[in-house]
Amino acid sequence: MPSPAEPDTPPPAPAPQGPDAPVLPGADSAPPGAAGAPGDDAATSRTARRELAATGFFRLWTGESASLVGSQVTLFALPLVAVLVLDASAWEMGLLGAAGSLAVLLFGPSIGAWVDRMDRRSAMQTANVLRCLLLLLVPAAYLLDALHLWLLLLVAFAVGGLSLLFDTAMAGYVPALVGRRLVAANSWMQSTVSVSDTAGPGLAGALVQVLGAPLAILADAASYLVSMTALQRLPKAPPGEAEEEQTHFRAVAAGFLLVLRDRVQRPMMLAATHFNLFTAMFFAVYMLYLIKVLGFSPLAVGLLNVAGGLTGLLGAWISSRVAERFGYGTVLTVVYAIPGVAALLVPAAQLFDGPLPAVLVGASTALWSFSVTVNLILSETIKQALVPSGMLGRVTSVIRVTSWGVEPVGSLLGGAIASSALGLRYTLVLAGAGVFTSMFWTLFSRVRSLRVLPEEPVGDLAVEQGEEQRESYGLAKER
């Protein structure tokens, strides 16, 4: 079975660390090797880790690990502030779930164009500073007895937009930093997500139990300080040279056109959009269902989520291997379907007594986290391998503004349907069925036949080697 492993080459020279470190060049166009992902053969993995370490990648990884653990606290605690402190209704929980995604919908297209013209490290630092300051407003308002739902909505909205800024910048920064080792780097980054999924919910549950939900958010604010410190000593990554000067509108439009015309990026975007619509619908009422219907405590919810973190870590370890064995497109299609099945275990828990409801919710979390972790690694690697560096910011923002932009709709639908005669349980059933059907976008497209990745970004190859090179990967534009 062909694999995306790169030819033997010497490891890159260590990147100088410190304030005077040189800037990074544009994203390397060498093949995105799979070696070095957590879980590869020991000798290969050690060599690949040394190569990644020489680039300074593990500084980024460490800072992102701290930040994501903190973000898990807010993800867990902010809805609990609404439920336990403000006694929010199902509709108000839907509004809170929609707030962060609304910022993505409004600002996403422009953020991508801005990032493609900015130093990406500076963009990430700006996002970190502002998110830290915004999160401090919640515990401060609570201590001053001035906490209201509108403040939670404002914080969720602003942090959502700034998170898109950070993620869009990092999507372009990682290829520039690590060059060939894209699968390895993305596996480590998703293992970060899994570590945060493992440690974060348990930490969040304990902090909420001891300090209360509003004060627990201080942990997330502190985590952004750690991320800022780690990024400070990494090289800068200015944008690559543009082929021609473009207005802001034309730059944004170029990103949309690239995605819409490409027979891999387009179905991947549509699958992610479909998936996120019903995922937002599901999680808009998930916490309310666990606490009000199943009677779980905040600590119990946090501990159950640990199962998801552990299986997510497993997904990060094996993603490169299963992609090589079965093909990128086949694996991606399967992991779009699994969360739909996992989601149905949650409403099924209401049918049982004793410990079985907790077992079913834990199993749901475990399956969901495993499949989504593999999905994210493969989707990000495919995009970074196929899209030229100068377009990565715009393509990332187009995909995310579309796929994240539907989340307010999903959250509002979840709140509205749960407030109707269907209730919480059948809202979760409907959402789970919707999540499952997201697999059809990749199943019935060129994505499913994508087995290996090209040795260079295909957008560049199309110019140098002709459209037949794109066709060989199933990537030719629609005519």
- The answer to whether residue 24 scores a pLDDT higher than 50 is no
What is the pLDDT at residue 340? 94
Question: How many Cβ atoms sit within 10 Å of the Cβ of residue 452?
Answer: 17
Nearest to 161 by CA among 108, 212, 92, 214: 108
- The answer to whether residue 223 scores a pLDDT higher than 80 is yes
Confidence class for position 456, pLDDT limits 50, 70, 90: low
Instruction: Please check whether residue 102 is in contact with residue 411, taking contact to mean a CB–CB distance below 8 angstroms.
Output: no
Nearest to 427 by CA among 412, 405, 446, 444: 412
Q: pLDDT by residue (tens digit) across 253-307?
A: 887 888 888 888 999 999 999 999 999 999 989 988 998 888 888 778 877 777 7
What is the pLDDT at residue 427? 94
- What tokens appear for 186 in the block? 């993305």
Q: pLDDT by residue (tens digit) across 187-209?
A: 788 777 766 766 666 677 788 88
Q: What is the DSSP string of 383-409?
A: HHHHS-GGGHHHHHHHHHHHHHHTHHH
- The answer to whether residue 45 scores a pLDDT higher than 70 is no
Per CATH, which fold does 42-230+245-472 belong to?
Growth Hormone; Chain: A; (1.20.1250)
Interacting residues of 354 by C-beta distance below 8 A, sequence separation 6+: none
Give, in degrees to the nearest 5, the angle at Cα 383 between 369 and 305.
10
- The b-or-e profile of 206-245 (16+ CB within 10 A means b, else e) is bbbeeebbbbbbbbbbebbbbbbebbeebbebbbbeeeee
Nearest-angstrom CA–CA distance, 33 and 453: 9
Confidence class for position 240, pLDDT limits 50, 70, 90: low
Domain coordinates in residue numbering, the chain = 42-230+245-472
**Mean pLDDT over the full length of the chain:** 77
The pTM (predicted TM-score) of the whole model is: 0.67
Single-letter amino acid, residue 148: H
Question: How many Cβ atoms sit within 10 Å of the Cβ of residue 318?
Answer: 19
Tokens 């069925």 locate to 433
DSSP 294: S
Instruction: Please check whether residue 295 is in contact with residue 165, taking contact to mean a CB–CB distance below 8 angstroms.
Output: no
What stretches of 258-392 adopt beta strand conformation (E)? Answer: none
Single-letter amino acid, residue 352: F
The stretch 119-136 carries a mean pLDDT of 89
Percent of the chain residues past pLDDT 90, beyond the cut: 22
Q: pLDDT by residue (tens digit) across 60-107?
A: 888 888 778 778 788 888 888 888 888 888 788 878 877 877 777 787
Q: pLDDT by residue (tens digit) across 409-440?
A: 898 899 899 988 888 899 999 999 999 999 99
- What tokens appear for 466 in the block? 């002709």
- Greatest Cα pair distance, the chain, in angstroms, is 66
Give, in degrees to the nearest 5, the angle at Cα 92 between 157 and 220.
45
Nearest to 388 by CA among 292, 322, 291, 461: 461
Confidence class for position 48, pLDDT limits 50, 70, 90: low
Rg from Cα positions in the chain: 22
- What tokens appear for 55 in the block? 């680039």
Nearest to 383 by CA among 332, 441, 322, 434: 332
Nearest-angstrom CA–CA distance, 197 and 72: 7
- The b-or-e profile of 390-428 (16+ CB within 10 A means b, else e) is bbbbbbbbbbbbbbbbbbbbbbbbbbbbbbeeebbbebb
- Helix spans in 7-56 (H): 42-55
Q: pLDDT by residue (tens digit) across 139-166?
A: 999 899 888 889 999 999 999 888 888 8
- The answer to whether residue 345 scores a pLDDT higher than 80 is yes
Please provide the size of the chain in residues.
Answer: 479
What is the pLDDT at residue 417? 92
Instruction: Please check whether residue 266 is in contact with residue 259, taking contact to mean a CB–CB distance below 8 angstroms.
Output: yes
What is the pLDDT at residue 25? 36
Pick the range with the lowest mean pLDDT from 17-21, 151-155, 228-232, 369-373. 17-21
Nearest-angstrom CA–CA distance, 143 and 56: 40
Nearest-angstrom CA–CA distance, 108 and 397: 5
Confidence class for position 135, pLDDT limits 50, 70, 90: very high
Nearest-angstrom CA–CA distance, 132 and 114: 22
Nearest-angstrom CA–CA distance, 332 and 450: 10
